Amino acid sequence: MTRSLRLLLLATFGVLLVHVLIYFAFGIALLNFPFDYDQAEGIELNMAVLMASGGCPYCDNDVFPFFGSGYPPFFHLLMVPFVKVFGPHLWYGRLIIFTSTLVTAGAIAWAVHRESRHRLIALLAGMAFLSSNYVYHIGPLLRQHLLMVMLETLAVVVIARSAGGEGINRRGLLLGFMLLLCAGYTKQLAYATCAAVSLWLFLRNPRLAIRFSAGLIGAAAIVFALMMWMTDGRWWDNIILANQNPYYWDQFLALLGQFLRLHGWILALAIAMLVYEIYCRRLSLYSVWLLAALVNTVASGKWGAGDSYFVTAIAATCILSGICLARSIRRDWRCPENYITSALSSWRIGNFGAVTAWIAIALFFAYSLSVFKMPTSGPIFGTIAGALNIQPLWDWRYPLHDPAGWTVGYAITGHLPTESDFENGWKIVDAIRDTDGLVLSEDVTFSFLSEREVIGNAVQLKNMWENGLYDPAAFVQMIRDRAFGLIILRAGLYPPPIIAAIVDEFRVSEVIRMNGFDYQLWKPRVNS
């Protein structure tokens, strides 16, 4: 490698290291934030609380406390021991997910190192994953999606090692398929990775593929049947039918354009590696995985989806782009004699190896610049932002410089909680504590912190209502009877009949801004 290439490689490492440090700073900041940063965090925590006490988050949503969930249980089962020891808090769920992103980055680095034997490039590939805006947005949050990505990545890496050579390691395959089962029961979106693994293994060894795929399907069916029995059939309503959300092509196309604008640099390297394997080598599991993950991003057009639906594709992209970069630097491109290699030879291209090395490193460096983001508040980042004149890009309420911008489905995350966010969050908790009677809070962590019962899951009830699976009559009647002394709304995501009853029977007594959102405190109207 020439000196100039080495300098560019080190410059890429330096920029990606800055990304990783910012990611750690954001993650550590959220560990200390006791309130919902994202609306669904408290909902997922409540699932673990219910499981810890023997409750059921998939049972009858029509009766008090009207709580149901559309998420599979694996992540929440991991939180159950923490609930029993520490009580209901957000920090351990966030820590589990943040750690899972580090494990994913480590698995990516290991896969690249195994293929390339180049430590620095393996490290770059893992850092590229942590540097993605999409990982940054949700990596420190108590949301199960990135645990699914970790399990998918570990499964693919283990299976690629177990069946990628001349021999077959059946124990490795068993472990990989067990990880896939856990990924599927973390979030349903893992089905694409399961299909990719089964297809690739079928191309390598049809008999083993059929055996292990049948085992995976059988194990998943047993768990599914058990959940159906335990919930008296409500599992099907909550997990399958309630997730039939409306689809918006504009949302998908906007997110796809955003993904290509931010990650297209290394995606080009990954696709180059895919083309190389098609024409010059045997197709790897990583390439099949990338294709399946890219196709599966079309699911991001559903209502309630967002940029997180691209993270599996990002993990596959980081592995393949890292391998491509290493091959380019080592000039390790070998093809059997065919019409393509003959055409390239006839063009008399000069130092082709040096050209590809420069292109590969330049694309990695361009990626490190395109995904640059940084909070613009706080004693450290606020000072840096002021000195470098780095401004929030799209909304003054959120002190964050983020080139991702905003699209439908993009969660507003990445800024650091401020002192006023802490103060106003506790102000809302105090309002709940000072209220007689029941309290309905759309962000349910306020209920935990004030030692009140969690009531309702706005998004799930809305999904079920829109699919004809939920009768809000009992909930509406409680509102009409003014059984609640206080109702706290942030986005008003309850089914329309519930919102209409709130508007009729309650009035806004106070609006408190926290984390960029206006929390409306509704109290019963005084009869004239």
Residue predicted with more confidence, 128 or 415: 128
Strand, helix or coil for residue 244:
coil
Structure tokens of 234? 């409500």
> What does the alpha-carbon distance between residue 249 and residue 327 come to, in Å, rounded to a whole number?
38
DSSP 247: B
Task: Specify the pLDDT at position 347.
Answer: 47
* pLDDT beyond 50 at 377: yes
Instruction: For Cα atoms 184, 189, 193, give the angle at the middle one, nearest 5 degrees.
Output: 75
pLDDT (mean) for 400-417 = 77
State percent of the chain over pLDDT 70. Answer: 95
Structure tokens of 62? 């029509």
* pLDDT beyond 60 at 224: yes
Q: What is the pLDDT of residues 141-188, one digit of tens each?
A: 999 999 999 999 999 999 999 987 777 889 999 999 999 999 999 999
> 105-116: string of b/e by CB count within 10 Å (b at 16+)?
bbbbbbbbbebb
pLDDT (mean) for 243-253 = 91
pLDDT (mean) for 340-361 = 66
* pLDDT beyond 50 at 350: no
> What does the alpha-carbon distance between residue 270 and residue 24 come to, in Å, rounded to a whole number?
27
Distance between terminal CA atoms of the chain?
Answer: 83
Q: Which residues touch 156 (CB under 8 Å, ≥6 apart)?
A: 176, 193, 196, 197, 285, 286, 289, 316
Average pLDDT, the chain: 91
Contact 192, 293 (CB under 8 A): yes
* pLDDT beyond 70 at 99: yes
* pLDDT beyond 50 at 348: no
Model confidence at 1, in pLDDT bands (50, 70, 90)?
Answer: low
> 261-300: string of b/e by CB count within 10 Å (b at 16+)?
ebbbbbbbbbbbbbebbeeeeeebbbbbbbbbbbebbeeb
Task: Specify the pLDDT at position 333.
Answer: 76
pLDDT (mean) for 107-132 = 95
Contact 483, 520 (CB under 8 A): no
Contact 27, 16 (CB under 8 A): no
> What does the alpha-carbon distance between residue 18 and residue 315 come to, in Å, rounded to a whole number?
20
Instruction: Give which of 197, 160, 154 is closest to 323, Cα–Cα.
Output: 160
- Please tell me the pTM assigned to this model: 0.94
Task: Specify the pLDDT at position 384.
Answer: 92
Task: Specify the pLDDT at position 342.
Answer: 63
* pLDDT beyond 60 at 486: yes
Task: Specify the pLDDT at position 330.
Answer: 84
Contact 61, 464 (CB under 8 A): yes
Model confidence at 40, in pLDDT bands (50, 70, 90)?
Answer: confident
Q: What is the pLDDT of residues 229-241, one digit of tens each?
A: 999 999 999 999 9
Contact 461, 50 (CB under 8 A): no
Q: Which of 53-62, 139-148, 177-186, 307-316 has the lowest mean pLDDT?
A: 53-62
Residues facing 511 on adjacent strands: 520
Which H or E run includes 261?
Answer: helix 249-280
* pLDDT beyond 50 at 372: yes
